A and B are shown apart, each in its own frame.
Chain A
């Protein structure tokens, strides 16, 4: 299996622009997670889905952030408009149904820089 796939791996944009991050979970995994990692705040869960339905979005910072999962093999995290403080590494992770809550399979991340 190829593991969790994220694109792009690096994104540099200017303040005010829309940014879309993409994720393909491991085939057969029912849970999908979006995390953000920064030096200041560490690794934070933004939102997670079960069977394409958002379950907990309490970590989404504000209305500028939105996430969708139109089907079992694809999810997007959108930031509109982007701000310099959104600069971070964004990780997508997935986990199979019935598996341990604790083992989540992370992708390689997208490093976002907002100028």
Chain B
């Protein structure tokens, strides 16, 4: 079935440290995995995506790792800043506009 699970549900990090958010998926037919950021009172905002035939993709201060063997996806944020405080969602899709979202991870950045 369609299932995307995230952990932890809340992550607290010190400003300047690296953050790692994890996602487990069950459907091997997914074409893409995507990360969104949702700040308080706003809609989700696209961060980065990775195609299922890739293992790693990097953006500005973010890195996505995909391990298809264990069906695991992670988002790493380098040098976490106060502005990174938000809820982060992983999502999957199968070559369509229908995104299946995970339950979210709340990232808290301690000054």
Residues of A within 8 A of B (CB): 4, 31, 33, 42-45, 48, 55-56, 91, 93, 95, 100-109
Contacts and interface: CB of A to CB of B under 8 A. Distances in A.
Given A31-B97, A101-B96, A104-B99, A43 B32 contact: no
24 contacts: A4-B43, A42-B102, A43-B44, A43-B89, A43-B101, A43-B104, A56-B97, A56-B98, A91-B43, A91-B44, A101-B32, A101-B96, A102-B32, A102-B49, A102-B93, A103-B46, A104-B46, A104-B99, A106-B45, A107-B43, A108-B42, A108-B43, A109-B42, A109-B43
Contacts, number: 52
B34 interface: yes
Contact of A48 (B44, B95, B98, B102): B98
A100 B49 contact: yes
**10 A-B pairs with least C-beta separation:** A106-B43, A103-B46, A102-B49, A43-B101, A102-B34, A42-B103, A106-B44, A91-B43, A101-B97, A102-B32
